[in-house]
Amino acid sequence: MNAVAAMLRRDLRLAWRSPGDSANVVLFFVLGVVLFPFGVGPGAEILARISVGVIWVMALLAALLSLDRLFREDAEDGSLDLLALSPAPLEFLVLGKVLAHWLVTGIPLIVASPLLALFMQLPAAAYPVLLLALLLGTPTLSLIGAIGAGLTLGTRRGGVLVALLVLPLYIPVLIFGVSAVEAATAGLAVRPHLLLLGGLLALFVPLSPIATAAALRQALH
């Protein structure tokens, strides 16, 4: 647990020094969503119909974009090698890094989402569920993304390859995230959808550090 906290503190401190990273991710999210009214017309009905899907897909893509910074800088300046050599299990260090990543990129997405829901004419009833679903979903996106980032460390064409690896695995999060918010819009039961999202998160909390650590180990020697 100490290892996780230490890693978390370190990464947060580093992220604090370059706030641009966080800002870029949020800006991409916002701009991407804003494109849709221009693409499909300003009609409230269409926008409301596609709003949930658009917000979630853009959140996915924004998360994807942010994955690069998860390991790349540490790999480049050699810190990753040092971390791998430390007595703390690499799995815990990964968990700490992913947590930091989520705090830096996921939380801003959640904070920005009400504004985007407004742009996309999402019915008011759905706002709380949107926030809750993103709260459950974005950590999972960071966790799954970490696996992809670890696997592609050291490849030259990293960026697009990560997308190819990670997006199919993101699809269940997308499906359950969207269904939760649409259930709220329709006035139906939201709990089963949120439970599924929670289930995914619970699955990846152990799975991701294990797989990512394995990927990092074979990338580093």
Partner 1 sequence: MHRYANPARFQRLARAIFPWTTGLTVLCLGGGLWFALVQSPPDYQQGETVRIMYIHVPAAWMAMFSYTCIAAASAALLVWKHPLAELAARAMAPIGASFTALCLITGSLWGEPMWGTWWVWDARLTSVLILFFLYLGQIALFNAFDDPTRGGRAAAILALVGVINVPIIKFSVDWWNTLHQPASVLRMSGPTIDPSMLLPLLLMAFGFTFYFVSLTLLRIRSEILARRLRALQFAQGSAEPAGARRVSA
The alpha helices in 18-153, defined as continuous H runs, are 20-40, 44-66, 68-76, 79-85, 90-101, 107-119, 127-151
Is 175 an interacting residue with respect to partner 1 (CB under 8 A)? yes
Provide the minimum distance between the beta carbon of 34 and partner 1 in the complex, in angstroms, as a whole number.
26
Nearest by Cα to 177 from 213, 123, 143, 135: 135
Nearest to partner 1 of 102, 204 (CB atom): 204
Is 140 an interacting residue with respect to partner 1 (CB under 8 A)? no
Transcribe 156-217 into DSSP letters: TTHHHHHHHHHHHHHHHHHHHHHHHHHHHHHT---HHHHHHHHHHHHHHHHHHHHHHHHHHH
Rounded alpha-carbon distances, angstroms, from residue 41 to 32, 38, 130 = 15, 5, 23
**Footprint of partner 1 on 188-207 (CB under 8 A):** 196, 200, 203, 207
Is 123 an interacting residue with respect to partner 1 (CB under 8 A)? no
Is 151 an interacting residue with respect to partner 1 (CB under 8 A)? yes
Total residues in contact with partner 1, by rule CB under 8 A:
28
Is 147 an interacting residue with respect to partner 1 (CB under 8 A)? yes
Gyration radius from the chain CA atoms? 18
- Alpha-carbon distance of 130 to 125, in angstroms, equals 9
Provide the minimum distance between the beta carbon of 154 and partner 1 in the complex, in angstroms, as a whole number.
7
Nearest to partner 1 of 107, 175 (CB atom): 175
Is 118 an interacting residue with respect to partner 1 (CB under 8 A)? no
**For residue 71, how many other CB atoms are within 10 A of its CB?**
26
Is 215 an interacting residue with respect to partner 1 (CB under 8 A)? yes
Which residue shows structure tokens 């910074």?
A: 69
Provide the minimum distance between the beta carbon of 23 and partner 1 in the complex, in angstroms, as a whole number.
30
Is 219 an interacting residue with respect to partner 1 (CB under 8 A)? yes
- Alpha-carbon distance of 113 to 129, in angstroms, equals 11
Query: Out of 14, 27, 161, 205, which residue is the one contacting partner 1 (CB under 8 A)?
Result: 161
Query: Out of 120, 176, 190, 209, which residue is the one contacting partner 1 (CB under 8 A)?
Result: 176
Q: Where on the chain is the footprint of partner 1 (CB under 8 A)?
A: 147, 151-152, 154-157, 161, 164-165, 167-169, 171-172, 175-176, 179, 182, 196, 200, 203, 207, 211, 214-215, 218-219
